[in-house]
A = this chain, B = another copy of it.
Amino acid sequence: MGRPRTFDVEDALEATLAVFWRKGFEGTSYSDLVAATGVERPALYSAFGNKDMLFLRALERYGSHYGNYVWEAVSHDRSRDVAWQVLEGAVELNTRYADRAGCFGINGGLAGSDESEASRQALIKWRADGEAVLRERFEKARREGDLPSDADPAVLAAYILAVAHGIAVQAKAGFSREKLTAIARQAVSTWPSA
């Protein structure tokens, strides 16, 4: 019962996600979100909570709707293919939309004022979760002999994600998909073989 919503919550969240993706947490004002969603301020608050909550919801959606290529990547048979797919997927996503180049998980915010610390911690945790998935996949590869016994799965996972983060920075700076792909190729050329 009660008066029904006149806007679609998922649509509003998607529009919100796009703004945070482009401008980051601190660079996004509630006025921006009102303009992007077409939803008035109090309606956004009642649907999502405050700016912190809205950002967390957007990050969650980003992971499930855009960052899912990581899960497909880890399902490959060879660890080298996994590494390559993560980087190629990052390049593709980071250059897919001209108006929001780069990665939400990076653009969202690295440094900022104390008021935005919560959003940055959420991003750090989000990236760490992805790293854990990748590390476990490489541990499995080493057990299976797909990686040499002296390879360090934790270092390899952190390395691949470091390259992905660097690619995200460069994508936001306007690097072409071709150049970023060449960087990804160079990155996996260091891949160890059993």
Contacts and interface: CB of A to CB of B under 8 A. Distances in A.
Given A102-B111, A108-B111, 16 more contacts: A21-B111, A22-B111, A23-B112, A28-B113, A32-B113, A107-B110, A110-B172, A128-B173, A155-B182, A155-B186, A158-B183, A159-B163, A159-B187, A165-B165, A165-B166, A189-B192
A29 B113 contact: yes
Interface string A86-111: 00000000000000001000111111
A137 B127 CA distance: 33
Contacts of A167: 162, 166
- Copies of this chain present: 2
Given A22-B111, A24-B112, A186 B173 contact: no
A33 interface: no
A164 interface: yes
Contact of A169 (B112, B155, B162, B186): B162
Contacts of A62: none
B169 A106 contact: yes
